Amino acid sequence: MSYEAPKIRLIMELRKQGITDKRVLSAVERVPRELFVAEALRSEAYDNIPLPISQGQTISQPFIVAYMTQALCLGERDRVLEIGTGSGYQAAVLAQLCRRVCTMERYRSLLAQAEGCFEALKLHNITTRLADGAKGWPELAPFARIMVTAAAPSMPSVLVDQLDQGGIMVVPVGLSGEQALIRVTRQASGFKEERLLDVRFVPLVAGLPPGRA
Ligand code: SAH
């Protein structure tokens, strides 16, 4: 099946929804979303909807991926920390626009699958880690940018502390039903917080799952 027509439709829809950054649109255009979903869902890969992945998790709606990427104001020299690799799709989009993506996931099986996609797409600027992302990645901190793709119950100060001067973090905060996407900017004088959008994300869960999931 050719994905060209649905892909063009999606890009047009994202433009209408306010994604104006051409670099973000072209990154979405370049990353084959169909590779990141189960074969049975490939025909829906360019619908502007979230799709289920394994372990009860979801790959976000393309609009949300594009919106969060745009909100991060990425520079091409930036190193970005992503919490919640999931399918790996968001990391692959980020990897088009910055120097390095460091992405963390708590499910071994999801991470292994995402790594397979990064390999297939020759995305060599993504570093992965199986660990509790709520703790961040202190060995590699500080980061110019941080994106959290699971909802934190409250502003995660551990992650805020791993932001570089001038750094920006985009994070969904709140309990299910009332989550908002927040952008935190670290300024010399302190932190600026902006509430961007109401959202729905799976929760950020502390610790690793039991067994070898
Ligand atoms: N960015 C993903 C979306 C994944 S959904 C994509 O593009 O597909 C959120 C992911 O966050 C899930 O895979 C979930 O397992 C993961 N997650 C939740 N809590 C976590 C934690 N504490 N540390 C690391 N990953 C976590």
| CB 147 near ligand 1, within 6 Å | no
The predicted structure's pLDDT at residue 212: 72
The residue whose CA is least distant from atom 17 of ligand 1 is: 84
The predicted structure's pLDDT at residue 90: 98
Distance 188 CA to ligand 1 centre (A): 31
The domain containing residue 197 runs over which residues? 4-212
Distance 133 CA to ligand 1 centre (A): 8
Q: Active-site positions?
A: 60
Per-residue pLDDT of 130-139, as tens digits, reads 999 999 999 9
Distance 189 CA to ligand 1 centre (A): 32
- In DSSP notation, the chain reads ---HHHHHHHHHHHHHTT---HHHHHHHHHS-GGGGS-GGGGGGTTSSS-EE-STT-EEPPHHHHHHHHHHTT--TT-EEEEE--TTSHHHHHHHTTSSEEEEEES-HHHHHHHHHHHHHTT-TTEEEEES-GGG--TTT--EEEEEE-SBBSS--HHHHTTEEEEEEEEEEESSTTSEEEEEEEEETTEEEEEEEEEE--PBP--SPPSTT-
The residue whose CA is least distant from atom 11 of ligand 1 is: 84
Number of neighbours of residue 91 by Cβ within 10 angstroms: 29
Total domain count, the chain: 1
Residues 6+ apart with CB under 8 A from 45: 3, 6, 32, 33, 34, 36, 37, 51
Q: What is the mean pLDDT of residues 142-149?
A: 98
| CB 107 near ligand 1, within 6 Å | yes
Q: And the tokens for 104? A: 């963390």
| CB 28 near ligand 1, within 6 Å | no
The domain that contains 39 carries what CATH number? 3.40.50.150
Residue 56 has pLDDT above 90, yes or no: yes
The predicted structure's pLDDT at residue 22: 98
| CB 133 near ligand 1, within 6 Å | yes
Residue 101 has pLDDT above 80, yes or no: yes
Across all residues in the chain, what is the average pLDDT? 97
Number of neighbours of residue 50 by Cβ within 10 angstroms: 17
* % of the chain with per-residue pLDDT over 90: 95
| CB 185 near ligand 1, within 6 Å | no
Instruction: Give the pTM.
Output: 0.97
The predicted structure's pLDDT at residue 1: 76
Q: What is the mean pLDDT of residues 51-77?
A: 97
